[in-house]
Amino acid sequence: MLARLAADFERFGREWPRDFATHVREAYRIDLSARYLGHALRHPFGKASGQLSLNEDQLEADRTAGVAFVVLKTVIAQDEAGARGMEAWAIHETRMRVERRAAADGREGWTVTWNGRGWDRPFEDYLALVRLAAEMTRSGTMVAVPSVKYHLPRLDETFRDPEYEFTTRRLVDAWGEDGLPLEKDFSPTLAGDALGDEQERILRWIREVPARIRAGAGTRPVRLALKLMNARFDDAFQRRMLEAASGADALVVFNRLWDSDRRVAYGGWDLSDRNLRVLAAARTLALPPLSGTGNVVTGRVALEYARRGCESVQLHTFFQLPLSEYPAAAGTRQQRALHALVFHPRDGIIAGMLDLEASGVLARRGGELRFLDLAEQRP
């Protein structure tokens, strides 16, 4: 198996196969099937919401590479007149810096530094992208899901329901007949904002937002993932956020950390360490299905998220590294990233699953090792 893996790593680094998940199943008897927000996926690797899911070209390249799912850039909700409670999040910024970032324990990782926030073009343009996402999802080639940031009030304020209604209805109409899958983003900039200062305020949002969105959709069903932030409080509070999120159909855990000195969101090993630590501590909670995000830079990190209950993972930074950082000699960034995540002989998901088998953590069923068995082992 290891010799085969080395050979596949070498050849797929030159030419990426069209359907790698089927190859993995046939060659290694490893079933990479995964899940996100009720959708069956061919494998667990998806693209997280951000600057890499803004347009049709990016989606096409994701689909060609075989990315399992994509979350579109977050749009800022508006009411019919175009008013937006979260207007401050709709700023335009193009410059991103992909940088090294050392974790507290010294490990070198990567982060993308960027001062922008949400979708900064007209809402109509976003709806056109949602129509395309719906077509792709229905055609079965790639799941693509919109993301929204809705108005979030202070404790003495009410939710701006007209924003919830107008935005959700337009998204539901653009998506079409079957239920709209939707991510609601609680972002690190929110954690860094004065709005994110109060624990009770954050918990109220998490408790009440799902019902607001569903009410906004009227009689049409919405499948809702809440993408929780890393608040500026301790691990115990992260756990309270998880407990408050029972109204969601899935949780994305957890968006980036906030650097209050530099006033930027960041990732790297501090992010995955915190996320994995909180998820491990929350293992006994009954939670909606989980999708992991944060510093998934190897197949092995993806498996760590899976062992803490995640049925899929969403990456941003690893799809944006300098080309020289990927071991593949050819292909798009998406292809090169998947190549490393899946076939790397030491750090890829195949090598990782074979190790879990060898150490007795994962057993074959019907002759196959199954990725989803890891998440389902969660007590």
Map tokens 């309270």 to a residue: 240
Q: Which is nearer to ligand FMN, 185 or 304 (CB)?
A: 185
At closest approach, how far in Å is the CB of 99 from ligand FMN? 11
**Backbone phi and psi for residue 345, each to the nearest 5 degrees, phi listed first:** -65, -20
316 binds ligand FMN (CB under 6 A): yes
* Interface stretch with ligand FMN, choices 20-28, 160-168, 276-284, 315-323 (CB under 6 A): 315-323
- C-alpha to C-alpha distance for 193 and 191, rounded to whole angstroms: 6
Reduced to 3 states (helix: H, G, I; strand: E, B; else coil), residue 329 is coil
* Interface stretch with ligand FMN, choices 61-69, 123-131, 310-318, 330-338 (CB under 6 A): 310-318
Total number of residues that touch ligand FMN (CB under 6 A): 27
Task: Write the DSSP assignment of 199-227 as a string of letters.
Answer: HHHHHHHHHHHHHHHHHHTTTS-EEEEEE
Reduced to 3 states (helix: H, G, I; strand: E, B; else coil), residue 261 is coil
298 binds ligand FMN (CB under 6 A): no
228 binds ligand FMN (CB under 6 A): no
72 binds ligand FMN (CB under 6 A): no
**Measured on CA atoms in the order 19, 20, 22, 27, is the torsion positive or negative?**
positive
Q: Which is nearer to ligand FMN, 39 or 101 (CB)?
A: 101
CB-based contacts of 285: which residues, under 8 Å, 6+ apart?
Answer: 239, 242, 243
Of 125-164, binders to ligand FMN (CB under 6 A) are 147
Q: Which of 178, 188, 180, 287 is nearest to 224 (CA)?
A: 180
At closest approach, how far in Å is the CB of 270 from ligand FMN? 11
Of 233-292, binders to ligand FMN (CB under 6 A) are 255-256, 267, 271
Of 88-117, binders to ligand FMN (CB under 6 A) are 96, 112, 114
At closest approach, how far in Å is the CB of 169 from ligand FMN? 21
Of 159-188, binders to ligand FMN (CB under 6 A) are 185, 187
Reduced to 3 states (helix: H, G, I; strand: E, B; else coil), residue 312 is strand
Choice from 167, 189, 230, 293 touching ligand FMN (CB under 6 A): 293
At closest approach, how far in Å is the CB of 194 from ligand FMN? 20
At closest approach, how far in Å is the CB of 38 from ligand FMN? 19
Strands (E), the chain: 30-31, 34-36, 39-41, 45-47, 69-76, 96-102, 108-114, 143-149, 180-185, 222-227, 250-253, 257-259, 264-266, 290-293, 310-315, 369-370
Task: Take residue 115 and report the two structure tokens written for it.
Answer: 């001062």
118 binds ligand FMN (CB under 6 A): yes
Contact 326, 348 (CB under 8 A): no
Of 22-51, binders to ligand FMN (CB under 6 A) are 48-51
- The contact set with ligand FMN (CB under 6 A) reads 48-51, 73-74, 96, 112, 114, 118, 147, 185, 187, 227, 255-256, 267, 271, 293-296, 314-318
